[in-house]
Structure 1
């Protein structure tokens, strides 16, 4: 499945800054960063369940927001892109 993940983590405290780094690290483990707080992810259903669980363990639901958009099949293959070129193929090899 193709996902677009966006997040907004409150960073006015040291704890918020740590949550932000942890959320980014989890997202980097599953997909490609396309903007500061935006990731494109290609994964299986089981991977999405793990991703959501990991994010829920990190965020403060009263202060932070994570949005996961499930896109139509292969939607990331047909992204209209303006500006600096995409540096990674969302279906290409993914090395951690």
Structure 2
């Protein structure tokens, strides 16, 4: 499945800054950063469940927000892009 993940983490405290780094690290484990707080992810249902669980235990729901958009199959293959070129295609292997 194709996902777009966006997040907004309150960074006014040291704990918030840590959460921001942790959220980014989790997302990097599943997809590619395409903008500051935006990731494109191609995954299976089981990966999505793990991803959501990891994010849910990391954020502070009173102060942070994560949005996960499920796109139609292969939607990331047809993204129109302007500006700085992509470094990877959405389905390129993810090497950690």
* Shorter-chain TM-score above 0.5: yes
Cα displacement (A) at 1:93: 1.4
Equivalence for 2:70: 70
Where does the alignment leave 5 or more consecutive residues of structure 1 unmatched? none
Please give the alpha-carbon distance, in whole angstroms, between the structure 1 residues aligned to 2:39 and 2:58. Answer: 17
Equivalence for 1:15: 15
- The two structures, once aligned, show a CA RMSD in angstroms of 0.4
How many residues are paired up?
Answer: 96
Please give the alpha-carbon distance, in whole angstroms, between the structure 2 residues aligned to 1:63 and 1:39. Answer: 20
Where does the alignment leave 5 or more consecutive residues of structure 2 unmatched? none
Q: Deviations over 1:23-76 (max 9, x none)?
A: 000000000000010000000000000000000010000000000000000000
Runs of 4+ in 1 over 2 A off after TM superposition: none
